[in-house]
């Protein structure tokens, strides 16, 4: 009891910072690094705050962690991109009301001289099989991010179980992983947005693209209030609704055009998984 009182006194002393907004006014969104690294959140967050009058805290982590936090009730809503994993959380009842927001796509990039000869292959699965067969260097995120989860799905489909020294796990974000792949002249799987953002630093061209399994679909899910004592249900729903609102979707549609000459995401509010099979 005494220790606890000490902690409280300590915290009270420390509380020089302005008091946090009261619970119902703050929404915690756990999301992936790509939405932050691409700069999309920097545009959407102020819009949401202005529209809803709530303040928003975005926690940008890998999709695996974003969903794990939400499942513990540490967030109110998620914006993630790992459909299979998301469906598992839905089935467990941890997350509610999954709605598709937007997509972009993954591409396989690699060194210009293409030692595994994958350029021109249309199926991503065939391409990764060739990389494994020729033991060409491949850099994996290795961090349970949406990108990593999709990559693991490709290896599984290709029937590649064991990976040797040619398979490098960076354990870092997409940006750092691109840097490593560039230095080691290796292949890697990346989302197109980050690859575009790294044009100045990374000289690995796109070798495989536009295959169905390479679609990168983002969706919002609300957190089940049963997950924890302080889940802001209304706030979570407000953000999910905001992401699907026509005005927000219009912002997403043109996001990135000024900087990269092409949009980074395609808005798909109202569509379902069935539309992308």
Tell me if 52 contacts other proteins by CB under 8 A.
Answer: no
* Residue 274, helix vs strand vs coil: helix
The two structure tokens encoding residue 103: 């997509």
**Closest distance between other proteins and the C-beta of residue 256, in Å?**
13
Among 178, 186, 221, 243, interactor with other proteins by CB under 8 A = 178
Please count the other Cβ atoms lying within 10 Å of the Cβ belonging to residue 264.
23
Among 176, 203, 262, 272, interactor with other proteins by CB under 8 A = 176
Q: What share of the chain is helix, strand, coil (3-state, %, to 5)?
A: 45, 20, 35
Tell me if 57 contacts other proteins by CB under 8 A.
Answer: yes
Q: Beta partners for 78?
A: 30, 221
CB 66 within 8 A of CB 32: yes
Only segment of 96-104, 160-168, 169-177, 244-252 that touches other proteins (CB under 8 A): 169-177
Tell me if 36 contacts other proteins by CB under 8 A.
Answer: yes
Binding track over 65-104 against other proteins, x by CB under 8 A:
-------xxx------------------------------
Tell me if 183 contacts other proteins by CB under 8 A.
Answer: no
Q: Provide φ and ψ at 107, rounded to 5°.
A: -135, 155
Q: Is 115 exposed, middle or buried (0-12, 13-18, 19+ CB in 10 A)?
A: middle
Q: Which residues bind other proteins (CB under 8 A)?
A: 4, 7, 10-11, 13-17, 20, 23, 26, 28, 33, 36-37, 39, 42, 45, 57-60, 72-74, 173-176, 178-179, 197-198, 200-201, 228-231
């Amino acid at each position: 009891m005494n220790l606890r009182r000490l902690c409280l006194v300590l915290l009270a002393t420390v509380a020089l910072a302005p008091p946090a907004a009261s619970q119902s006014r703050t929404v915690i969104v756990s999301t992936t690094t790509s939405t932050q690294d691409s700069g999309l959140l920097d545009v959407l967050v102020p819009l949401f705050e202005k529209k809803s009058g709530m303040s928003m805290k975005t926690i940008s982590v890998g999709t695996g962690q974003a969903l794990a936090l939400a499942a513990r009730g540490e967030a109110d809503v998620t914006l993630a991109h790992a459909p299979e994993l998301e469906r598992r959380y839905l089935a467990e009842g941890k997350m509610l009301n999954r709605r598709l927001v937007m997509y972009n796509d993954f591409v396989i990039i690699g060194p210009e001289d293409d030692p595994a000869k994958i350029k021109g292959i249309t199926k991503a699965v065939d391409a990764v099989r060739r990389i494994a067969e020729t033991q060409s260097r491949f850099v994996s995120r290795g961090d349970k991010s949406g990108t990593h989860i999709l990559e693991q799905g490709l290896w599984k489909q290709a029937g590649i179980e064991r990976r040797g020294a040619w398979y490098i796990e960076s354990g870092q974000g997409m940006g750092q992983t691109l840097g490593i792949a560039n230095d080691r002249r290796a292949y890697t799987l990346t989302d197109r947005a980050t690859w575009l953002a790294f044009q100045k630093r990374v000289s690995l061209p796109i070798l495989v693209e536009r295959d169905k399994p390479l679609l990168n679909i983002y969706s919002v899910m609300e957190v089940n209030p049963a997950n924890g004592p302080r889940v802001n249900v209304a706030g979570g729903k407000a953000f999910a609704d905001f992401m699907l609102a026509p005005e927000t979707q219009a912002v997403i549609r043109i996001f990135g055009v000024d900087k990269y000459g092409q949009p980074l995401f395609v808005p798909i509010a109202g569509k379902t998984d069935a539309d992308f099979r």
